[in-house]
Chain A
Amino acid sequence: MSFLTYLLSGVSLGSIYALIALGYTMVYGISRMLNFAHGDVIMIGAFTLWTAASPSFFPGNPGLPTAVSILISILVCTLLGVLIEKIAYKPLRNASSLAVLITAIGVSYFLQNIALLIFGSDAKAFNSVVSFPGLEIGGMKISAETIVTITVGVLIMVGLSLFIKFSKQGKAMLAVSEDKGAAQLMGINVNSTISLTFAIGSALAAVAGILYCSVFPQVSPYTGAMPGIKAFVAAVFGGIGSIPGAMVGGILLGIIENLSKAYISTEMVDAIVFAVLILVLLVKPTGIMGKKMTEKV
Chain B
Amino acid sequence: MKKTLSASTKSNLITYAMLAVIFAVVQLLSVTGNLSSLVSGLLVPICMYIILAVSLNLTVGILGDLSLGHAGFMCVGAYSSAIFSMLTKDVISADLLRYVLALLVGGAFAAIFGILIGIPVLRLKGDYLAIVTLAFGEIIKVIVNNMYIAKDIHGVHFAMLTSISDMGLDEGSKEVILNGPQGISGTPQTKSFVIAFVLVVITVAVILNLINSRTGRAIMSIRDNRIAAESVGINVTKYKLMAFSVSAFFAGVAGVIYSHNTYALQATTKNFGYDMSILILVLVVLGGIGSIKGSILSSIILISLPEILRDFQKYRMLIYAILLIVMMIVNNNPVTKAFFKKIFGSLKRLLPKKKAAEKSSEVTQ
Interface residues of A (CB under 8 A from B): 33-34, 88, 91-92, 94-103, 105-107, 109-110, 112-114, 116-117, 222, 225, 229, 232-233, 236, 265, 267-268, 270-271, 274-275, 277-278, 281-282, 285, 295, 297
B325 touches which one: A106, A114, A222 (CB < 8 A)? A106
Which residues from A are CB-within-8-Å of B317? 109, 112-113, 116
Q: How far does the alpha carbon of A105 sit from the alpha carbon of B317 in the complex, in Å?
A: 12
What's the dominant secondary structure at chain B's contact region? helix
Chain B minimum-CB-distance residue to A275 = B139
Q: How far does the alpha carbon of A95 sit from the alpha carbon of B334 in the complex, in Å?
A: 9
Q: Does B331 contact A (CB under 8 A)?
A: yes
Q: Is the Cβ of A274 less than 8 Å from the Cβ of B139?
A: yes
Q: How far does the alpha carbon of A236 sit from the alpha carbon of B121 in the complex, in Å?
A: 13
Which residues from A are CB-within-8-Å of B278? 105, 109
Which residues from B are CB-within-8-Å of A33? 127
Q: Is the Cβ of B333 less than 8 Å from the Cβ of A95?
A: yes
Q: A99-B328, A229-B135 are in contact. Are A91 and B121 (CB under 8 A)?
A: no
Q: How far does the alpha carbon of A277 sit from the alpha carbon of B138 in the complex, in Å?
A: 12
Q: Does B188 contact A (CB under 8 A)?
A: no
Q: Is the Cβ of A271 less than 8 Å from the Cβ of B328?
A: no
* Min CB gap A123→B, angstroms: 14
Q: Is the Cβ of A91 less than 8 Å from the Cβ of B135?
A: no
Q: Does B232 contact A (CB under 8 A)?
A: no
Which residues from A are CB-within-8-Å of B269? 222
Q: A113-B321, A268-B146 are in contact. Are A274 and B135 (CB under 8 A)?
A: yes
- Pick the 5 closest A-B CB pairs, nearest first: A106-B324, A274-B135, A95-B332, A110-B321, A109-B321
Q: Does B314 contact A (CB under 8 A)?
A: yes
Q: Is the Cβ of A106 less than 8 Å from the Cβ of B120?
A: no
What are 6 A-B residue pairs whose CB atoms fall within 8 Å in the complex?
A96-B332, A99-B328, A117-B314, A229-B134, A281-B124, A282-B120
Chain B minimum-CB-distance residue to A277 = B135
Which residues from B are CB-within-8-Å of A233? 131, 135
Q: Is the Cβ of B135 less than 8 Å from the Cβ of A110?
A: no
* Min CB gap A89→B, angstroms: 10
* Min CB gap A232→B, angstroms: 6
Which residues from A are CB-within-8-Å of B161? 265, 267-268
Q: Is the Cβ of B318 less than 8 Å from the Cβ of A98?
A: no
Which residues from B are CB-within-8-Å of A285? 123-124, 128
Q: How far does the alpha carbon of A109 sit from the alpha carbon of B315 in the complex, in Å?
A: 12
Which residues from B are CB-within-8-Å of A102? 66, 281, 285, 324, 328
Which residues from A are CB-within-8-Å of B123? 285
* Min CB gap A43→B, angstroms: 14
Contact string against A for B residues 317-342, beta-carbon threshold 8 Å, 1 for contact and 0 otherwise = 11011101100110111111000000
Q: How far does the alpha carbon of A34 sit from the alpha carbon of B124 in the complex, in Å?
A: 15
Q: Is the Cβ of A268 less than 8 Å from the Cβ of B329?
A: no
* Min CB gap A5→B, angstroms: 24
Q: Is the Cβ of A91 less than 8 Å from the Cβ of B120?
A: no
